[in-house]
């Protein structure tokens, strides 16, 4: 569960900013096709529809009617979708006391991230919106500008601007102070209590309060093309196609076989890991009590 507790991966083209301060072009990353929440997951199909599977007790897998989607995020008992028109869709546990899924009125949204108790969105002009709990200042993003993507944790939020500089707000125990010094960054990620960033040189910066993740091991990884993490484990897909892991392996979520040899995208959920293959099929390892790795019949290429 990274970032929106999902991934921000492949890059897409450029869109025009309407910011009054400066009319310029902002390059936005395109979200990964595959996204894992705590006990469910989602995939964005090439026909711009989506499929979610796994734990659906809060309705978080009810995305079958969504269409014209450009971005999908599986988070903690929730799924968000952004359509090609900038409209927002959300299903799952709204946690009524916080209202973190009250985003239907948002418009002009390019990407978003759902945390445990709040949600943050990025508009096409590079400004941000937030809804939900602001108990630790995690929604204090009103003054951010030139933002291309965000990552919401539990009580913290990361933002990345178009020149690779990271901004961070929140409680202070999830690596925010360190993240505020990061630059030359390509992508950002957050779990409930950790912050991560993939650098342009293929290394991973990280900090936070996890007692399970081995931050030193993650910092030692090189030639990383994609990264993903949950609160229990992390993995990286390297540029040579190899995959490395660290963290808890109690359900085998860090143990893969030859099926994973040609995986092009990875996503970590809570105690499970998924991989997307070039033929559109999805492989999975780890905990399966909610059918979160039962991906037979699901194909990205449709």
Distance CA 144, CA 202 (A): 26
- Is residue 300, in this structure, part of any structural domain at all? no
Q: Is the model's pLDDT at 238 over the cut of 50? A: yes
Pick 3 or 102 by higher pLDDT: 102
What is the chain's length? 302
Residue 1 is predicted with a pLDDT of 65
Cα–Cα distance measured from residue 12 to residue 157, given in angstroms and rounded to the nearest whole number: 23
Q: Establish how many alpha carbons lie within 13 A of residue 168's alpha carbon, considering only the half-sphere containing its beta carbon.
A: 31
Confidence of residue 4 (pLDDT cuts 50, 70, 90): very low
The number of distinct structural domains making up the chain is 1
Residue 47 belongs to some domain of the structure: yes
Q: What is residue 215's three-state secondary structure?
A: helix
Predicted confidence (pLDDT) at residue 25 exceeds the cutoff of 70 = no
d(C-alpha 276, C-alpha 55), whole Å: 20
What is the pLDDT, as a whole number, of residue 26?
A: 37
Mean pLDDT confidence for 12-26: 33
C-alpha pair distances (Å), 187 with each of 76, 213, 262: 21, 19, 22
Residue 14 reports pLDDT greater than 50: no
Query: What average pLDDT does this structure show over 70-91?
Result: 96
Q: Average pLDDT in the 210-215 region?
A: 96
Tokens linked to 195: 């912050």
The mean of the pLDDT values for the chain is 90
The two tokens of residue 106 are: 């948002």
Closest CA to 92 of 104, 109, 74: 74
Domain that holds residue 209: 8-286
CATH number of the domain residue 194 falls in: 2.130.10.30
Mean local confidence (pLDDT), 63-78: 96
Say if 66 falls within a structural domain.
Answer: yes
> Which residues, in sequence order, are bridge partners of residue 208?
194
| Residue 302 pLDDT | 83
Higher pLDDT, 29 or 7: 29
Q: What is the mean pLDDT of residues 279-291?
A: 97
Q: What pLDDT does 124 receive?
A: 96
For the CA atoms of 56, 59, 65, 67, the dihedral, rounded to the nearest 10 degrees, stands at -90
Which ranges in the chain belong to alpha helices (H)? 176-179, 215-220
Structure tokens at 208: 């936070």
Q: pLDDT-derived band of residue 2, with 50, 70 and 90 as boundaries?
A: low
In a domain? residue 302? no
User: Per the structure block, which two tokens stand in for 248?
Assistant: 């808890």
In a domain, residue 115? The reply is yes
Rg over CA atoms, the chain: 17
Q: How far apart are CA 253 and CA 237, in angstroms?
A: 15
DSSP state of 153: -
Residue 48 lies in a domain: yes
Asked whether residue 65 carries a pLDDT value surpassing 70, the answer given is: yes
Among 3-17, 157-171, 259-273, which stretch is predicted with the lowest mean pLDDT? Answer: 3-17
Residue 175 falls inside a structural domain: yes
The mean pLDDT of 135-158, rounded to a whole number, is: 97
Find where tokens 């995208």 sit. Answer: 265
Predicted model pTM: 0.90
Q: How many CA atoms lie within 13 A of 132 on its CB side?
A: 27
pLDDT for residue 285 is more than 80:
yes
Q: What is the mean pLDDT of residues 278-300?
A: 96
| Contact present, 29 and 268 (Cβ < 8 Å) | no
Is the pLDDT confidence value at 178 over 60?
A: yes
Q: Judge whether 130 lies within some domain.
A: yes
């Amino acid at each position: 569960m990274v970032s929106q507790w999902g991934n921000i991966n492949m890059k897409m083209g450029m869109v025009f900013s309407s910011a009054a301060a400066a009319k310029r072009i902002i390059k936005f990353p395109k979200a990964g096709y595959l996204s894992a929440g705590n006990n469910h997951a989602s995939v964005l199909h090439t026909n711009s529809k989506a499929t979610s599977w796994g734990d659906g007790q809060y309705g978080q897998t009810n995305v079958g009617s969504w269409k014209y989607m450009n971005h999908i995020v599986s988070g903690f008992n929730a799924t968000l979708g952004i359509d090609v028109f900038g409209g927002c869709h959300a299903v799952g546990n709204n946690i009524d006391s916080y209202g973190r899924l009250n985003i239907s009125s948002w418009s002009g949204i390019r990407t978003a991230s759902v945390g445990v108790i709040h949600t943050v969105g990025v508009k096409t002009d590079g400004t941000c919106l937030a809804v939900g709990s602001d108990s630790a200042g995690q929604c204090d993003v009103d003054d951010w500008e030139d933002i291309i993507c965000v990552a919401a944790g539990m009580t913290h939020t990361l933002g990345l601007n178009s020149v690779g500089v990271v901004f961070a707000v929140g409680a202070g125990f999830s690596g925010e102070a360190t993240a505020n010094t990061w630059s030359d960054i390509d992508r950002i990620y957050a779990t409930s209590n950790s912050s991560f960033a993939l650098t342009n040189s293929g290394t991973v910066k990280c900090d936070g309060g996890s007692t399970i993740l081995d931050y030193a091991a993650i910092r030692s990884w090189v030639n990383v093309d994609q990264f993903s993490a949950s609160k229990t484990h992390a993995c990286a897909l390297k540029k040579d196609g190899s995959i490395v892991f660290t963290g808890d392996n109690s359900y085998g979520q860090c143990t893969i076989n030859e099926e994973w040899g040609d995986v092009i995208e990875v996503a970590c959920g809570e105690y499970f890991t998924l991989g997307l293959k070039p033929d559109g099929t999805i492989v999975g390892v780890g905990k399966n009590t909610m059918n979160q790795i039962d991906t037979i019949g699901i194909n990205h290429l449709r």
